[in-house]
Amino acid sequence: MIHELKNKNNPIHRESLIQLAKKYGTPLYVYDFFKIKKQYIKMKNAFNGVKNLIINYACKANTNLNILKFLQKLGSGLDTVSIQEVKIGLKAGFHPKKIIFTPNCVSLQEIKEAVNFGVRINLDNLSILEQFGEYYPDYAIGIRINPHIMAGGNYKISVGHIDSKFGISYYQIPHMKRILKNTGLKIEGFHMHTGSDISDIKAFLSGAEVLFQTAIDFPNLDYIDFGSGFKVPYKKNDLKTDLNYLSYSITKKFLNFCENYGNKITLIFEPGKFIVSESGYFLVSVNVIKHTVSTVFAGVNSGFNHFLRPMFYDAYHCIENISNPDGRFRFYTVVGYICESDTFGVNRKVKEIREGDILCIKNAGAYCFSMSSNYNSRYRPSEVMIFKGKDFLIRKRETMQDLMRNIIDIHI
């Protein structure tokens, strides 16, 4: 259930969400900035045994400028995967050297643009590495390693296995060394990311061993970047990454590596979902209750155009009827208004749903609005932040003018 947070400045509770839905309309994303801060501090405190620690927010999870500005003020760095994210990060006030650009399958021209901005760069392709070295032999870069580890909530979000398009295989390190020797290019760090929603600590530790074994042969490194992939809970008693056990194990291994390496280098993590997922609530209105021979559907005024994860990853998100907290539980399949199979949850036990009720979909802070689209020519929704007990509109709902903005009307 949704309860008021203990912090008096952050009244996120059922009544306040209903008032926000009335004030701003639905569908509506709501973000609790107190929760974002809490998660960031939790991450920092977990690894307080490492003096040279950097937390880079993986902004592909949610690129709203106001979230980036808030994390920048907290001291976070930024993990980016596109030149557009780099530009948003710079606009949010991040210093270029606090931004790491880790692209995949982008053009050399996009990487050149990142060089012009002066950000840190991780490369994961031997061909691009060789070309980059010819143009910028004096621009130190990081290398993304593919550790050949299958990890993550499902295959679609596992990115460190042998058939993944991400990273340079650790079997290709001899080839990589040859390119470095031929171009004179200098490496400042090594990077790894094996997937998302990882609850098995062994996956992190196995990846760490690959990075340590690789890095030991390269003098004068500045950082080792473990990426992220921490699992957050999506329902009661759900699995999650044991951050305390992970931090104990990683810190111990990292400090031993630094001692053997002979230099105190920086440890970097790139959490995205861990920072913002649980801060988000997605509010939708019930358009219709539809009975079929076997199913009761609750059809809402949104769909996978706004909230793709359940359809894309079979992801589970808790759904609550905040309009009828005293109703009796019934079973519903909650669906959207998109002209495709469009399902938020199948056969869910929810307090009785009536037409006009407001449903709240939880864990909506990460990979939700950022993956939205205008499919079926629908408008993308508004976003609101809650900060110190006050609500602020941080993205307006789109209009027909937004849909037509870049269309060129040719008269034939």
Please provide the DSSP assignment of 257-305 as one string.
Answer: HHHHHTS--EEEE--SHHHHGGGEEEEEEEEEEEE-SS-EEEEES--TT
Q: What is the pLDDT of residues 47-94, one digit of tens each?
A: 999 999 999 999 999 999 999 999 999 999 999 999 999 999 999 999
Q: What is the average pLDDT across 236-262?
A: 89
Q: 41-50: per-residue pLDDT in tens? A: 999 999 999 9
Mean pLDDT across 213-239: 89
Assign 224 to helix, strand or coil: strand
3-state secondary structure of 229: coil
Residue 77 labelled as part of a binding site = no
Q: What is residue 306's DSSP assignment? A: T
The backbone torsions φ and ψ at residue 137, rounded to the nearest 5 degrees and listed phi first, read -65, -20
Is 85 labeled as ligand-binding?
no
Q: Mean pLDDT throughout 374-382?
A: 98
pLDDT exceeds 90 at position 194 = no
| Residue 380 is labelled as binding a ligand | no
CA nearest to 79, candidates 62, 60, 93: 60
Residue 169 pairs with which residues in a beta bridge? 146
Mean pLDDT to the nearest integer, 13-23: 95
pLDDT mean over 90-118: 97
- Fold observed for domain 14-30+277-404: Lyase, Ornithine Decarboxylase; Chain A, domain 1 (2.40.37)
Domain with CATH 2.40.37.10 in the chain: 14-30+277-404
Alpha-carbon separation of residue 303 from 113, 335, 341, 348, 381 (angstroms): 36, 7, 10, 17, 11
* Residue 322: predicted pLDDT: 97
Q: Is 25 annotated as a binding residue?
A: no
Architecture per CATH, domain 33-276, reads as: Alpha-Beta Barrel (3.20)
What is the tens place of the pLDDT at every residue in 310-353?
999 899 999 999 999 999 999 999 999 999 999 999 999 999 99
**CATH 3.20.20.10, the chain: domain bounds:** 33-276
pTM above threshold 0.95: no
- pLDDT for 195 beyond 90: no
% of the chain with per-residue pLDDT over 70: 92
Cβ neighbour number for residue 84 with a 10 Å cutoff:
11
Distance (Å, whole) CA 119 – CA 196 = 25
Angle at 229 between CA 228 and CA 235, to 5 degrees: 140
* Selected catalytic residue, list 258, 339, 360, 368: 339
The answer to whether residue 6 scores a pLDDT higher than 60 is no
Where do we find the tokens 């760069």? 121
The mean pLDDT of the chain is 91
Cα 77 to Cα 73, 74, 114, 169: the distances in Å are: 10, 9, 16, 27
Residue 365 marked ligand-binding: no
Catalytic annotation present for 258: no
